[in-house]
Amino acid sequence: MSIGQAFLGLLESHPRHGYDLKRAYDERFGQDRPLHYGQVYATLSRLLKNGLVEVDSIEPGEGPERKCYAITAAGVTDVERWLANPEKPDLYLQNTLYTKVVIALLTGRGAAEILDTQRAEHLRLMRDLTRRKTDGDLADQLICDYGLFHLEADLRWLELTAARLDELTREVRS
Amino acid sequence: MNGTTTPLLAGTGLRKTYGATPALVDATICVRAGEVLAVMGPSGSGKSTLLHCLAGIVAPDAGRIVYDGRELTAMSDRERSALRRREFGFVFQFGQLVPELTCLENVALPLRLDGLKRREAERRAAGWLDRLEVADVADKRPGEVSGGQGQRVAVARALVHQPRVVFADEPTGALDSLNGERVMRLLTRATREAGAAVVLVTHETRVAAYSDREIVVRDGTSHDAELVA
């Protein structure tokens, strides 16, 4: 998730303060990982430096000044480019699970237990997402479905690997 | 899940062979009152046979099935059939509704078979169609409704007589993702409200994610860690 581009997208409708941006981001995209204030201001400062946002106004107050940020024309172009370009599909070719399975087999341990344990953990998370989806609104459903489909893909890999373990054991240990 | 509660339905050491093909080798499973239990496993692993044995549709060659303190495996065909009609509900992948009857009559059918008057049976059936969000198809025949609607009618029929266990064998297998999700959401919501347990056979993990827990059947073998020895 690119926080910078999400900020730009949120600023495109109207200028916002840093705090408003964090709140809008957390509400829409950060259910599991709300942003730290440090991330918010570091991101804004980078966007400012790159000319993608500008300070629209400054409100003096008793505490620190409250800056209101607005997107620039370059910022809008950046959002358009980001939206138009597909994300690079991550094939997870070297993922931790694969490494665990191979290491287990190389060291003479059983890999089936690793796969079963992982399966149960994946399903546990899928249950949580399904509950959240069932109780939530359409935005929750879309976010949860994204996670669910990815977890499902992992589970299919786990299932297929479990079915191929004998073959893989022979290959790894030969 | 409390491991010390007596299960409502339990099968131990189940074995079943079709000709020379072993379908169940050593299957153990327990279902607690009100829980949604997913039975998972690859195609041909024996999960449907396990469901059929548990539901008293197929008699296992060996092993024991106990439902609410009564041994299913020791009952006569007649007793098992009465038990299935009164205490169990069924949802299959397809082909379960009577094509000549309207959806309302289909849902009312289990109550009519149990001797309830038509008017009362259809009043209750209409309530279930409403809960399953298919009240608008009450007067249509199964051939005139979509796959998703038909499956929701089937769920209503499975629940209309307030069974204690619903057996669902790949209930979303013939549906697209969106309709499958809707059937699962309504099925689990309705059974939870009614306090019925569900034995859900599926090979789809997204469907299994609607359950409270799962057991896996591989090569006709399953172990249920919840079962108290």
**Distance, CA of A38 to CA of A116 (rounded, Å):** 39
Partners of B208 on chain A (C-beta within 8 Å) are 123, 126
Instruction: Give the pTM.
Output: 0.81
* CB-neighbour burial class of residue A146 (10 A; exposed 0-12, middle 13-18, buried 19+): exposed
Contact B214 A151 (CB under 8 A): no
Partners of B205 on chain A (C-beta within 8 Å) are 122-123, 126, 151-152, 155-156
ipTM of the modeled complex: 0.80
B35-58 confidence digits (pLDDT tens): 999 999 888 889 999 999 999 999
pLDDT at residue B101 is higher than 90? yes
Q: What is the dihedral of CA A29, A35, A41, A45, to 10 degrees?
A: -50
**Distance, CA of B124 to CA of B161 (rounded, Å):** 9
Partners of A130 on chain B (C-beta within 8 Å) are 206, 209-210
pLDDT at residue B4 is higher than 80? no
With CA atoms as reference, the chain A residue closest to B219 would be: A163
Closest residue to A152, CB basis, from B206, B212, B216: B206
pLDDT of the residue at A84: 82
**Distance, CA of B27 to CA of B79 (rounded, Å):** 24
pLDDT at residue B198 is higher than 60? yes
Helices (DSSP H) in chain B: which residue ranges? Answer: 47-54, 77-87, 103-113, 118-131, 147-159, 177-194, 205-208
**Distance, CA of B97 to CA of B79 (rounded, Å):** 24
B118-150 confidence digits (pLDDT tens): 999 999 999 999 999 999 999 999 999 999 999
**Is A129 or A64 the better-scoring residue by pLDDT?**
A129
pLDDT of the residue at A63: 67
A 10-69 → B contacts, CB under 8 A: none
Chain A nearest-CA distance from B16, in A, is 23
pLDDT of the residue at B2: 45
A34-87 confidence digits (pLDDT tens): 999 999 999 999 999 999 999 998 887 666 678 999 999 999 999 888 888 877
Query: If pLDDT is split at 50, 70 and 90, which confidence band does A1 have?
Result: low
Helices (DSSP H) in A85-164: which residue ranges? Answer: 96-106, 112-135, 138-163
Count of beta carbons in the 10 Å neighbourhood of residue B126:
16
Mean pLDDT of the region A118-131: 92
B 37-76 → A contacts, CB under 8 A: 42
pLDDT at residue B174 is higher than 60? yes
pLDDT of the residue at B6: 80
